[in-house]
Structure 1
Amino acid sequence: MPKDDTRPPPRLRDQALALWLLSLGLLGMLRFAMRAVRDGTGGADAVAWAYLVGGALVALCGAKAWRRRPPPG
């Protein structure tokens, strides 16, 4: 009898944390852009820059976690 396996592919399952970190980093950078152009002047305040720096650091951690694990097999 065949085994019914409904789990996601191994690469996606093993890299869930990396994908989560990458998406959070991208959301932080998007938040920077939204806050920087909110008033129409194009100037970014300190909080907007904190979103950009934090988002970039989280995205870099996600990219490092993605590349660090060897593909299963």
Structure 2
Amino acid sequence: MIELLRTNNQVMVSFAEALLKDAGIPYDVLDQHMSVLEGSIGVLPRRLAVHDEDAVAARRLLIDAGIDVPPIGESRY
């Protein structure tokens, strides 16, 4: 799995999920249940990951929708 997006912005995560779902690209949202530990204050980012073979298509889809995604293999985090 390749992490494409890491953010505290729940709206952005939901938007990215909708885009990937509509495109038929399988994905996982990691750390979405960490809010139990953080007290639901939104400090811990959620991560969106896709299978290696879907990474290029998923990244292009998110970029075309205006979501800033780092190049595959690079991380801003």
Q: What is the TM-score of this pair, normalised by structure 1?
A: 0.29
Q: Answer 1 or 2: which has greater strand percent.
A: 2
User: Of Structure 1 and Structure 2, which has the larger fraction of its residues in helix?
Assistant: 1
TM normalised by structure 2 equals: 0.28
